[in-house]
């Protein structure tokens, strides 16, 4: 779908040229190696119809070929995020709807890795749209990802890696966007088996209801007991190194639908609760990337899958349940269910596999949206070095995080008079922090651990402008964790 070459060819059905304001003012277009275009751009610059402002579009025509000019704004303000956004706006524009082949040309000969990878992600991540159940308006209108792209840049392995990573992002998005009655625990299990099929470095371990009960993962079972679908704890062992130690365990919350349980969610909050398995989806997307990149690491990928349904068998407020770690939990609110499933998964992984570090991803708290909005995932960790590694990976990939604190004064916030702790805080505020504090109680204090709350970043709601994302799942965490495990 994407190929590379070092010089423009202007032989595609459409050529897209990205220009800064400074380049338009300078009127220096010799880098395009096309005399007639150079002359036309020079004259066009003088007309001031196109100035190169951010995401400004202006079409030209040369015979049957479309030349689309795209503004990047001021050079000093140009970021990789802005490049992704400009590329996205170009590839989904109506000017290119009939073009089967598209050439992407960055003005001023910019071919550095950061720019080219941003262009790739602008196409593959920005061009993604969830339309599985939508009838095409016109069969001649090609979706952005159905086109063939040529990026003007010398071919490199890093660019093909970026394509593979983007495919992992979009796999996660497909899983989150589809119907909850389709993407059940068995569907997720089948997806994992498809991803790891015929991979000799993979060992698969799946715990169903019997195994979960035998092992004492009662918190996980309680959350799922109102559902007609079985729960799963899926553990995928990736053996990329001869060492026996596990470099990292990546654990994802997989609530295939969250009604809130008997503490039922209200209108305005329940409609998109198929997204509550975005953590597990990110784990699967990252797994696909790690296999494609053939990383020389030992990794454990974990999907803790359940459905929080309502009914006569659903677990109830006031119940006291003892989980895998041997700690009893008073259920104060059945809508604080993700932390229960994760608590069992984290304790099980920590005790039985002793990874060097654990990272979990979860759409855990609405409070994270209040605190950070939609563009950043919340990061909380018991280990400064691990937190820094994740922050560095976030800055490199534009899969953003912002660290929130865990501190000694939190002790006692989840005390219960009838159990070891309860699943919600006895104080107001700081919901993201208290949710992470609950999880921390199920991790050995010596194990480096980080929690990523992707409640805001995992999904793009209708009417919310989100950089280079369309409505629906964003694949939050996939680029971040892929880069994180690569850098270990």
Residue-wise pLDDT tens digits, 443-484: 999 999 999 999 999 999 877 778 999 899 999 999 999 999
Q: Any idea what the CATH number is for the domain that residue 21 is in?
A: 3.40.220.10
pLDDT at 145: 95
The tally of CA atoms less than 13 A away on the side-chain side of residue 419 is: 18
pLDDT digits (tens, 9 = 90+) for 147-184: 999 999 999 999 999 999 999 999 999 999 999 999 99
Residue 253 β-bridge partners? 304
Q: Check if the beta carbon of residue 251 is closer than 8 Å to that of residue 360.
A: yes
H helix or E strand, kind and range, residue 449: strand 449-453
Share of the chain above pLDDT 70, in %: 95
Residues 187-210, buried b or exposed e (16+ Cβ, 10 A)? Answer: bbbebbeebbeeeebbeeebbeee
Identify whether residues 32 and 150 lie together within a single domain.
Answer: yes
User: Taking 70 as the threshold, does the pLDDT of residue 18 lie above it?
Assistant: yes
Identify whether residues 84 and 175 lie together within a single domain.
Answer: no
Per-residue pLDDT, averaged over 294-303, amounts to 98
Cα 375 from Cα 460, distance rounded (Å) = 9
Cα 67 from Cα 257, distance rounded (Å) = 46
User: Taking 90 as the threshold, does the pLDDT of residue 52 lie above it?
Assistant: no
Of 265, 297, 327, 466, catalytic: 265
pLDDT digits (tens, 9 = 90+) for 180-215: 999 999 999 999 999 999 999 999 999 999 999 999
Structure tokens at 86: 């400009």
Of 88, 339, 357, 400, catalytic: 339
User: Taking 90 as the threshold, does the pLDDT of residue 48 lie above it?
Assistant: no
pLDDT at 332: 97
DSSP state of 265: P
Taking all residues of the chain, what is their mean pLDDT, rounded to a whole number?
A: 94
Q: Check if the beta carbon of residue 132 is closer than 8 Å to that of residue 473.
A: no
Beta strands in 96-179 (DSSP E): 101-106, 148-152
User: Taking 90 as the threshold, does the pLDDT of residue 33 lie above it?
Assistant: no
Identify whether residues 180 and 143 lie together within a single domain.
Answer: no
Identify whether residues 206 and 129 lie together within a single domain.
Answer: no
Share of the chain above pLDDT 90, in %: 84
- Does 166 or 35 have the greater pLDDT score? 166
Per-residue pLDDT, averaged over 399-417, amounts to 96
Neighbours of 337 (CB within 10 A): 28
Rounded to two decimals, what is the model's pTM? 0.96
User: Taking 80 as the threshold, does the pLDDT of residue 220 lie above it?
Assistant: yes
Query: In Å, what is the CA distance from 392 to each residue of 117, 233, 480?
Result: 17, 30, 9
Q: Which of 155, 178, 203 is the last residue of a domain?
A: 155
Tell me the helices (H) and strands (E) count for the chain, helix number first: 14, 19
Identify whether residues 190 and 95 lie together within a single domain.
Answer: no
pLDDT at 36: 65
Cα 268 from Cα 416, distance rounded (Å) = 31
Identify whether residues 45 and 73 lie together within a single domain.
Answer: yes
Cα 338 from Cα 341, distance rounded (Å) = 5
pLDDT at 60: 85
User: Taking 90 as the threshold, does the pLDDT of residue 26 lie above it?
Assistant: no
Q: Any idea what the CATH number is for the domain that residue 212 is in?
A: 3.40.630.10
Q: Check if the beta carbon of residue 286 is closer than 8 Å to that of residue 250.
A: yes
190 in helix, strand or coil?
helix
Identify whether residues 171 and 119 lie together within a single domain.
Answer: no
pLDDT at 42: 72
Burial group, residue 401, by CB count within 10 angstroms (0-12, 13-18, 19+)? buried
Identify whether residues 167 and 149 lie together within a single domain.
Answer: no
pLDDT at 232: 98
Beta strand 65-73 with 101-106 is: unpaired
Identify whether residues 183 and 63 lie together within a single domain.
Answer: no
Q: Say whether 265 is catalytic.
A: yes
User: Taking 70 as the threshold, does the pLDDT of residue 290 lie above it?
Assistant: yes
User: Taking 80 as the threshold, does the pLDDT of residue 10 lie above it?
Assistant: yes
Cα 70 from Cα 54, distance rounded (Å) = 8
Neighbours of 164 (CB within 10 A): 15
Per-residue pLDDT, averaged over 310-320, amounts to 96
Q: Check if the beta carbon of residue 233 is closer than 8 Å to that of residue 302.
A: yes
Identify whether residues 402 and 430 lie together within a single domain.
Answer: yes
Give residue 123's pLDDT band: very low, low, confident or very high (50, 70, 90): very high
Q: How many domains does the chain have?
A: 2
Structure tokens at 32: 């395009």
Cα 417 from Cα 123, distance rounded (Å) = 55
pLDDT at 305: 98
Among 133-142, 216-225, 356-365, name the one with the lowest average pLDDT.
Answer: 133-142
Q: Which of 155, 174, 197 is the last residue of a domain?
A: 155
Residue appearing with tokens 């209040």: 370
Neighbours of 137 (CB within 10 A): 8
Cα 431 from Cα 212, distance rounded (Å) = 29
Identify whether residues 173 and 145 lie together within a single domain.
Answer: no
Q: Which of 118, 134, 155 is the last residue of a domain?
A: 155
Q: How far is CA 349 from the centre of its chain?
A: 23
Give residue 93's pLDDT band: very low, low, confident or very high (50, 70, 90): very high
Q: Check if the beta carbon of residue 124 is closer than 8 Å to that of residue 166.
A: yes
For 305-345, the DSSP string reads EEEE--STTS--TT-EEE-TTS-EEE-S-TT--HHHHHHHH
pLDDT at 51: 85
pLDDT at 31: 65
Give residue 35's pLDDT band: very low, low, confident or very high (50, 70, 90): low
User: Taking 90 as the threshold, does the pLDDT of residue 144 lie above it?
Assistant: yes
Closest C-alpha among 354, 318, 321, 306 to residue 183: 306
456 in helix, strand or coil?
coil
Cα 50 from Cα 59, distance rounded (Å) = 10
Identify whether residues 400 and 308 lie together within a single domain.
Answer: yes
Closest C-alpha among 229, 249, 255, 240 to residue 302: 249
Residue appearing with tokens 């941003």: 118
Give residue 108's pLDDT band: very low, low, confident or very high (50, 70, 90): confident
Q: Check if the beta carbon of residue 482 is closer than 8 Å to that of residue 183.
A: no
| Range of the structural domain that residue 326 is part of | 163-487
């Amino acid at each position: 779908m994407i190929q590379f070459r070092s010089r423009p060819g202007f032989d595609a059905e459409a050529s897209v040229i990205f220009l800064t304001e400074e380049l338009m003012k300078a009127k220096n277009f010799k880098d395009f190696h096309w005399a007639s275009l150079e002359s036309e751009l020079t004259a066009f610059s003088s007309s001031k119809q196109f100035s190169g402002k951010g995401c400004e579009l202006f079409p030209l025509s040369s015979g049957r070929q479309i030349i689309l000019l795209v503004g990047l704004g001021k050079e000093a303000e140009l970021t990789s995020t802005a490049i992704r956004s400009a590329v996205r706006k170009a590839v989904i524009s109506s000017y290119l709807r009939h073009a089967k082949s598209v050439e992407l040309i960055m003005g001023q000969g910019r071919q550095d890795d950061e720019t080219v990878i941003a262009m790739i992600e602008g196409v593959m991540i920005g061009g993604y749209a969830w339309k599985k159940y939508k009838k095409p308006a016109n069969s001649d209108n090609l979706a952005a990802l159905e086109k063939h792209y040529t990026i003007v840049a010398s071919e490199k392995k890093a660019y093909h890696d970026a394509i593979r990573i983007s495919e992992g992002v979009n796999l996660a998005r497909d899983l989150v966007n589809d119907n909850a009655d389709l993407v059940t625990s068995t569907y997720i299990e089948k997806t994992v088996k498809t991803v790891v099929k015929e991979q000799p470095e993979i060992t698969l371990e799946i715990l169903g209801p019997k195994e979960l009960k035998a092992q004492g993962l009662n918190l996980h079972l309680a959350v799922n007991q109102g559902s007609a679908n079985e729960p799963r704890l899926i553990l995928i062992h990736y053996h990329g190194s001869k060492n026996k130690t596990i470099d990292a365990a990546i654990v994802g919350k997989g609530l295939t639908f969250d009604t809130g349980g008997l503490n039922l969610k209200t209108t305005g909050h329940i409609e998109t609760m198929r997204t509550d398995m975005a953590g597990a989806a990110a784990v699967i997307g990252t797994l696909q990337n790690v296999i494609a990149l053939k990383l020389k690491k030992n990794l454990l990928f974990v999907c803790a899958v359940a459905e929080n349904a309502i009914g006569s068998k659903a677990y109830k407020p006031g119940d006291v349940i003892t989980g895998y770690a041997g700690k009893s939990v008073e259920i104060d609110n059945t809508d604080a269910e993700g932390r229960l499933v994760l608590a069992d998964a984290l304790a099980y992984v920590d005790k039985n596999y002793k990874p060097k570090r654990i990272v979990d991803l979860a759409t855990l708290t609405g409070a994270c949206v209040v605190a950070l909005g939609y563009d950043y995932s919340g990061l909380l960790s018991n280990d400064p070095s691990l937190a820094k590694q994740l922050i560095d990976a976030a800055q490199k990939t534009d899969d953003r995080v912002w660290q929130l604190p865990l501190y000694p004064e939190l002790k006692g916030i989840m005390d219960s008079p009838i159990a070891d702790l309860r699943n919600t805080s006895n104080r107001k505020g700081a919901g993201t922090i208290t949710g992470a504090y609950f999880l921390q109680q199920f991790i050995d204090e010596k194990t480096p651990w980080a929690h990523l709350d992707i409640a805001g970043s995992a999904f793009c709601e209708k009417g919310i402008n989100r950089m280079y994302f369309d409505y629906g799942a964003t694949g939050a965490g996939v680029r971040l964790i892929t880069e994180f495990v690569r850098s270990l």
